[in-house]
C-alpha cells in the first residue's frame, strides 16, 4: 500500500485528519516539514499552479521533493486545485503521489468527464485523485459578509452518488459552508452539518475540507470526528504567518544584511502555525 493510501486508511480508522499545507518557496516548505517532524505526524505538502507560475515547475517540485526525501516525517507531494488537465497530467508524470483535479467550475456532466479522464490516467500510475463537487468562493481579505458568499454552490446530495460512481475518484472536497481565504470574525460562516450528514449518508468516500484557514476550530474538529473529514487544507494562514514574521522583523528596526536571518524568522512562524493545525486535526489523539 502506498504511503498516501495508508495515510487515508489510518485517518479513517482512527477518526483524525492530516493536513495539506500549501507552499511556494523553500522556507515555507521547511516550516511544514519541521512541524510534521516535531509532531510525528504525516502531512501533504501542496503546490498550486500559481505557485509553479511564481517559482517554476522544476525548481519548486525538486525543492519540495528534496525536503520530503530528507525529512523524518511521512510527507507526500500533492497538487492542489489543478484546473488544467494537461498540467495535472504533467504532475502525475513527474512523480506526484496525489493530485487534485478541480473541474468544479463546470456543470456536473463536464466535471464528471474531466475528472474521470484524470482518474483513469492517474490510477494507471498508482496516483490518487481528489476532486471537488460544488463551488467554493474565495475571500480576498476582509470582505463584508454576503458578497463573495453568494457565489457559493454547496455540494448537492442529489449529485454526489453519481459523481463518485462515474468518476472513481479517491477523495472528494465537499462544499458545506467552507470558503477559501480569511474573513471578518463577525462574518464567519459555520459549516452546514445537516448537509454534511446528508452527504455522508450517500457515499463512503473520504471527504476533504478546503478553506481550513478560516473555518472555526470547533467546526473543524466536529467535521473530522463525526463526518469523515480525513484531510484539511491550509494555505492562507501559512501565508499570513510567513509575512507576519518578516513584517515584525522590519518593524522592530533591526538591521540584517543576510536574508537568511530574516527568512528563518518567517520559517519559524510557519512551523508554529502548522504545529497548531496538526494538533487541531488530531482531535483526541
Question: Three cell numbers at 13?
Answer: 480508522
Catalytic residue among 80, 102, 170, 192: 80
For residue 22, give the 3-state DSSP assignment.
strand
Across the chain, where does the E strand assignment appear?
A: 18-22, 43-47, 75-82, 98-101, 128-133, 171-174, 207-209, 229-234
Distance (Å, whole) CA 163 – CA 169:
9
- Is 80 noted as a catalytic residue in this protein? yes
Angle, CA 10 vertex, CA 4 and CA 16 arms, to 5°: 105
Distance (Å, whole) CA 157 – CA 15:
23
Strand partners, 76: 44
Sorted by sequence, the CB contacts under 8 Å of residue 266 that are 6+ apart come out as 27, 31, 241, 242, 243, 245, 246
Question: Three cell numbers at 131?
Answer: 476532486
Query: How many CA within 13 A on the CB side of residue 219?
Result: 20
For residue 263, give the 3-state DSSP assignment.
helix
Sorted by sequence, the CB contacts under 8 Å of residue 94 that are 6+ apart come out as 57, 61
Which residues belong to the active site? 80
Amino acid at each position: 500500500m502506498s504511503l498516501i493510501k495508508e495515510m487515508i486508511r489510518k485517518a479513517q480508522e482512527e477518526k483524525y485528519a492530516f493536513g495539506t499545507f500549501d507552499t511556494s518557496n523553500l522556507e515555507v516548505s521547511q516550516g511544514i516539514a519541521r512541524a510534521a517532524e516535531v509532531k510525528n505526524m504525516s502531512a501533504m505538502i501542496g503546490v498550486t499552479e500559481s505557485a509553479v507560475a511564481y517559482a517554476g515547475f522544476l525548481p519548486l517540485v525538486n525543492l519540495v521533493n528534496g525536503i520530503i526525501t530528507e525529512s523524518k516525517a511521512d510527507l507526500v507531494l500533492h497538487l492542489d486545485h489543478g484546473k488544467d488537465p494537461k498540467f495535472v497530467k504533467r504532475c502525475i508524470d513527474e512523480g506526484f503521489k496525489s493530485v487534485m483535479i478541480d473541474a468544479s467550475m463546470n456543470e456536473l456532466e463536464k466535471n464528471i468527464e474531466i475528472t474521470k479522464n484524470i482518474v483513469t490516467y492517474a490510477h494507471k500510475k498508482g496516483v490518487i485523485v481528489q476532486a471537488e463537487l460544488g463551488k467554493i468562493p474565495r475571500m480576498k481579505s476582509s470582505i463584508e459578509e454576503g458578497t463573495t458568499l453568494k457565489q457559493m454552490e454547496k455540494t448537492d446530495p442529489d449529485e454526489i452518488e453519481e459523481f463518485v460512481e462515474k468518476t472513481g475518484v479517491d477523495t472528494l472536497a465537499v462544499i458545506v459552508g467552507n470558503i477559501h481565504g480569511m474573513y471578518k470574525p463577525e462574518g464567519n460562516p459555520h459549516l452546514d452539518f445537516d448537509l454534511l450528514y446528508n452527504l455522508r449518508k450517500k457515499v463512503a468516500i473520504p471527504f476533504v475540507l478546503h478553506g481550513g484557514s478560516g473555518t472555526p476550530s470547533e467546526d473543524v474538529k466536529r467535521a473530522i470526528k463525526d463526518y469523515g473529514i480525513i484531510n484539511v487544507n491550509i494555505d492562507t494562514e501559512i501565508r499570513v504567518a510567513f509575512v507576519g514574521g518578516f513584517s515584525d522583523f522590519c518593524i522592530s528596526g533591526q538591521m540584517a544584511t543576510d536574508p537568511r536571518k530574516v527568512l528563518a524568522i518567517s520559517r519559524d512562524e510557519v512551523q508554529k502555525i502548522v504545529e497548531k493545525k496538526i494538533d487541531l486535526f488530531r482531535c483526541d489523539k
